Amino acid sequence: MHLRLLTTLLLAACAIGAAHAATVASVESPGGVLRVELDLHEGRLGYRVLRLGEPVIDTSALGFMLRGSGRLERNLALSAQATRHVDSTWEQPWGERRFVRDHHNELRASFTETIAPGRRFDIVFRVFDDGLGFRYEVPAPHAAAGAPGDADGTGAAAPEWIIDDELTEFAIHRAEGTPPPTAWWIPAGEWNRYEYLYQRTPLAEVGMAHTPITLRTHDGLHLAFHEAALLDYSGMWLRRVEGGRLRAQLAPASEGWKVKRRLPFHTPWRTVQITDSAAALYRSSDLILNLNAPNRLGDVSWFEPAKYVGIWWSLHLETETWATGPRHGATTRNTRRYIDFAADHGFRGVLVEGWNPGWDGQWFGNGYGFDFTRATPGFDIEALAAHARRRGVHLVGHHETGCAASHYEDQMDAAFAMNARLGIDVVKTGYVCDAGGMERRLPDGRIAREWHDGQWSSNHHQRVLEAAARHRIAINTHEPIKDTGLRRTWPNWVTREGARGMEYGAWGQPPNPPEHEANLVFTRMLSGPMDFTPGILSLQGRGQAIQTTLAKQLALYVVLYSPLQMAADLPEHYARHMDAFGFIRDVPVDWEETRVLDGEVGDFAVIARQERGGEDWYLGAVTDEHGRVLEVPLHFLAPGRRYIAEVHRDGKGAHWRDAPFEFVREERAVTASDTLVLTLAPGGGQAVRFRAERPAP
């Protein structure tokens, strides 16, 4: 930068300083619903958000704490700004809806430090009518000697930033005298990754939270904070500070800093969803996908959204074992039984856990014994893959790493090649160890331990994903890093865990309570698909019952979206519930359109989805521990068309605690002008297929 320009900036900064806070740039959403204003207050940058003229986010800090060169938040001057309007629609290869509209206004504002070292960054806001995202973009350093950015005067400006933290804040507005917003959240920086029960507390009682975190203000405004496109960066935790402010705290790296990046780079998008209702909040999650870059893999039609069964629930019930021995689950004979069951009932996949060496002994948090290219002697993988192929079924791979992530990277390419040869085109990965225990091998061979959501782990997942894509393999990550919409760019990252799934129903300690899924819909599910593994029609874990009714197990297939859904129970259990099992067999996993018809965070949710490329609609409704009667107008159906509603509902007297098997399957003709009355039992649910009748020829 020329000296003259720097002087101008300095003068501008002084002028702004004298006038106190000044709005230096602003942008509105396309429909004028949201407005973002950028302020400079004595050279300190902040942003705020208004909705329909009312404050939602009060002036909140932006900036960085950088190692070596200190905080980057003051003495800033605006050097340029530009806006842009985008209205485009793109097609998902698979998803909750086929077409996604990206309609936003963008503001790019460039800031320069008016004192040495004269660092620069852009802040880019994309503002939709139902939320926004912003990110920092740090340009390449100046090369000219004496220019700002040339910290040591040599002309070699710092080529990298070591970020000790982001200073990004979200100051939630609260009008004087009004009750505090309610927050639904799980703790971050604790041992169990993302697997906690959602807490509902006043905002002031939030500690350090993972995102998405969902808030509801006293007058019903719904907010969710998350991030999009988390790549080569640390996951953002949110720490509540001073009343109603949430401040970014990035997951640490083993080196002690949070992030290290060469310039130029940009951060993930920090996202805020803002809507009038819980239902609209779910819908607004499209902005997370919109903020991710388009598909880089090209044609991914080789990935087929599908349902799978597998040798899994028995392991969690402890009737079979991952380890070899008399109760080993992954035997050739047992797997053949599952393959035949899958083929007989139209399931594409058969997951087998415990198929490879490494499970004998202490594998939890120690995955050095895992071999991903060899099967145990009792598992004839070649013969089983051939049998599966003959029956039109695919084995689903399982790569539990026990968090020995570098050890896994050594083998993954060979393992994926073997998988591809055997027709195994989906692999479930796993990272079971306490949070902060991901094992990274350093160049000198020593092991460092990383967080599941630190920068190194973000890059690890990226390496796995790209290696898998080279072999046309889709990945389903358990104990993952959170979902930030990268499936748009790499559509082979199809689903993941990242919350308490059905397995907690097997273990207890404590089991998932009836409100769990109604919490998930409006928190975890805002971030993307989840491999929850529903469909436990036996409703029985190890020593305790699962806290849902039978009908609710069916509803979960519609309510909790995933392009891979497991029918998680044992074949012999399904044999006892064939009327209910029919719904699991028929329900699709890929959708043309999705509508959240009704819901309240943590209380209930009603979701309708239309089969992709089909005419039928499916509805799922779940409630918490309270029974409910909900009226659902069927406006989403095609007008003038007759449908047969195949209703799977809680029977009379059903209750998750003492009458969970009370279940009714019935059919009736409906049209779009009808209203369905859903009666949900305490802990219950309902699943409906609307089968379009063929019009008379």
Catalytic residue annotation? 503
Q: Point out which span in 78-86, 305-313, 475-483, 618-626 binds Ca ion (CB under 5 A).
A: 475-483
Helices 405-421 and 455-470 pack at an angle, to 10 degrees, of 20
Q: What residues numbered 543-572 form the site for ligand NOJ, per CB under 6 A?
A: none
Is residue 226 classed as helix, strand or coil in its secondary structure?
A: strand
Minimum distance of Ca ion from residue 268's CB (angstroms): 24
How far is residue 655's CA from residue 57's CA, in Å, rounded to a whole number? 42
What are the structure tokens assigned to 6, written together?
């720097």
How far is residue 440's CA from residue 457's CA, in Å, rounded to a whole number? 9
Minimum distance of ligand NOJ from residue 79's CB (angstroms): 49
- Residue 353's binding partner among ligand NOJ, Ca ion, none (Cβ under 5 to 8 angstroms by kind) is ligand NOJ
Among 37, 96, 165, 353, binds ligand NOJ (CB under 6 A): 353
Element (H, E) at 384: helix 381-390
Task: Say if residues 347 and 309 touch (Cβ distance below 8 Å).
Answer: yes
Q: Which is nearer to ligand NOJ, 328 or 488 (CB)?
A: 328
Q: What length does the chain have?
A: 697
Please report the sign of the dihedral spanned by the C-alpha atoms of residue 550, residue 556, residue 562, residue 563. positive
Within 13 Å of residue 154, how many CA atoms lie on the same side as its CB? 5
From residue 442 to residue 481, the character string flagging contacts with ligand NOJ as x (rule: CB under 6 A) and all else as - is ------------------------------------x---
Among 122, 400, 483, 624, binds ligand NOJ (CB under 6 A): 400
Helices 381-390 and 332-345 pack at an angle, to 10 degrees, of 20
- Residue 439's binding partner among ligand NOJ, Ca ion, none (Cβ under 5 to 8 angstroms by kind) is none
> Measured over all CA atoms, what is the biggest interatomic distance in the chain, rounded to whole angstroms?
82
Sheet holding 493-496, edge to edge: 493-496, 474-477, 426-430, 394-400, 349-352, 306-311, 564-566
From residue 498 to residue 537, the character string flagging contacts with ligand NOJ as x (rule: CB under 6 A) and all else as - is -----x----------------------------------
Task: Say if residues 335 and 350 touch (Cβ distance below 8 Å).
Answer: yes
Is residue 79 classed as helix, strand or coil in its secondary structure?
A: strand
Q: Does 320 bind ligand NOJ (CB under 6 A)?
A: no
Q: Point out which span in 367-375, 495-503, 580-588, 591-599 binds Ca ion (CB under 5 A).
A: 495-503
Please report the sign of the dihedral spanned by the C-alpha atoms of residue 601, residue 604, residue 610, residue 611. positive
How far is residue 567's CA from residue 347's CA, in Å, rounded to a whole number? 9
Minimum distance of ligand NOJ from residue 2's CB (angstroms): 57
Which residue in this structure is represented by tokens 């080789």?
302
Minimum distance of ligand NOJ from residue 575's CB (angstroms): 23
Q: Which is nearer to ligand NOJ, 158 or 464 (CB)?
A: 464
- Residue 483's binding partner among Ca ion, ligand NOJ, none (Cβ under 5 to 8 angstroms by kind) is none
Among 497, 569, 616, 662, binds ligand NOJ (CB under 6 A): 497
Q: Which is nearer to ligand NOJ, 236 or 351 (CB)?
A: 351
Among 268, 310, 430, 514, binds ligand NOJ (CB under 6 A): 430
Q: Does 432 bind ligand NOJ (CB under 6 A)?
A: yes
Q: Point out which span in 28-36, 97-105, 460-468, 489-497 binds Ca ion (CB under 5 A).
A: 489-497
How far is residue 685's CA from residue 550's CA, in Å, rounded to a whole number? 8
Q: What residues numbered 9-68 form the site for ligand NOJ, per CB under 6 A?
A: none
Under the rule (CB under 6 A), what is the footprint of ligand NOJ? Answer: 312, 353, 400, 430, 432, 478, 497, 503
